[in-house]
Structure 1
């Protein structure tokens, strides 16, 4: 399928690694000019250079989206190369903390980094999309926003807020050709997740090889129909679909990419 992204420019926040990088690489393959965002100019440029070497088009925007100044910087650098047609709000962070350890300050920080950061970019980029009567905003949410477990409650709550704001934005954009939708990943295998599971494996008795660890940890922690963790490229595929004209009729929708996960054993 031709996703018809040639000539479009896409800013993917938090795209120096993980889901963001995978999304940027796929959108570039589909013909979009991508703007790689991160707080480190060196890391962002390395991803952009790799995309360019593969024949894609990429530029860089840097800035800490947890601050107004950083968001101004990132948006300004992204717009320096032309209009932004697609905003993928992917940037975010979490800590493995429980209810006893997540202080009020931790909750406030998580909300700023995971929710308000996306609002900042929406406020800076979406008005111009509305004026041009074309745009795509894709928010990366997560299954923990609707099926939270006991661990890191501050992060779970921010995912719920991300889902909510994306639907609210869709309602606000009614009657325009600008859409707002959500991709909700399940447990995705990025390097940090694999490292965490490998470290935890001996005390949980999950085995020694990665194949054993993946099989046993999925069964215990995130049982799903596919019996494995998702891969970043699978999230990128859902995002890419929402970016194109084939998704024109989707508004305020949540696409779950979670292997059919229905519960968490945490």
Structure 2
């Protein structure tokens, strides 16, 4: 089906976007659909997933959805099989799904025990490894593919809270680089994006909890002002939106971006 834009660059491409039942992932899926790709959304809550599918479908084109966990090999294989059956193959894999840190991002370093560190690593890194191993054979066979990971600027600006999450997000960048090396000369690229603070379910909950802990007014204008006054300031002077990150994903997924490989792009407003 032709994409909604004339000469849509992703016509004929098929994309699986994990963790796309809301927020950032949904925004990414929407942009890829607008660029002409057939898209499969993924999430664990079927009601939210169905609602997101309906919203993305309004952009035009082919939209599917598959539910399930990525926390173990069997469940991840089920998710991949469902997406593969719906799309007929996967050319673009966007690894957006990942677990949040313990305590909604406010638990002190020494309260995050080893089990929580392992859980964060499995959710953020293990989920990527499982899907990459499943997606790469088909991409190799076709001689083309795009694998895009979502890291985080928090890996560059660590705090004494969310240490498990920050470490896992930094590991994603190493994974991305080594994967690009392993896929050298195959026509498959591997890149990552490190968003700055961006409106989405997890970050918004964290900001609200931070506002409560600091005694700020809990409206977004007040929270944004406090953030920009020092906690997480950037040159853009605002918190990011899902569309800001989705534009970068679409750029990396474009066939014309084939000479960009093994890098991380900081999309953080110039922090």
Distance 1:173 1:65, change over 3 A: same
Q: 1:71 aligns with which of 68, 76, 79?
A: 76
Asked if the contact 2:30/2:59 (under 8 Å) is kept, the reply is: no
Residue in structure 2 matched with residue 84 of structure 1 by the alignment? 90
Q: After TM superposition, list the pairs within 5 Å mapping 1:126-205 onto structure 2.
A: 126-201=136-211, 204=214
For 2:213 and 2:261, locate their aligned partners in 1 and report how far apart those are by CA, in whole Å: 45
Alpha-carbon displacement from aligned partner over 1:100-152 (angstroms, at most 9, x marks no partner): 21101001111111101110000001121011100000000011223322211
SS of the residue corresponding to residue 109 of structure 2 reads coil
For 1:127 and 1:111, locate their aligned partners in 2 and report how far apart those are by CA, in whole Å: 24
Deviation of 1:184 after TM superposition, in Å, equals 0.7
For 2:217 and 2:108, locate their aligned partners in 1 and report how far apart those are by CA, in whole Å: 26
Deviation of 1:176 after TM superposition, in Å, equals 1.6
TM-score (norm 2): 0.90
- Aligned pair count reads 261
Structure 1 unpaired stretches of 5+: 262-266
For 2:186 and 2:223, locate their aligned partners in 1 and report how far apart those are by CA, in whole Å: 47
For 1:47 and 1:208, locate their aligned partners in 2 and report how far apart those are by CA, in whole Å: 27
Distance 1:208 1:161, change over 3 A: closer
For 2:165 and 2:122, locate their aligned partners in 1 and report how far apart those are by CA, in whole Å: 11
Residue in structure 2 matched with residue 60 of structure 1 by the alignment? 65
Deviation of 1:47 after TM superposition, in Å, equals 1.4
Distance 1:41 1:201, change over 3 A: closer
SS of the residue corresponding to residue 64 of structure 2 reads strand
Deviation of 1:209 after TM superposition, in Å, equals 4.4
TM-score (norm 1): 0.92
Q: Indicate yes or no: 2:219 matched with 1:215.
A: no
C-alpha RMSD over aligned residues: 1.8
Distance 1:153 1:208, change over 3 A: closer
Distance 1:138 1:203, change over 3 A: closer
Deviation of 1:44 after TM superposition, in Å, equals 1.7
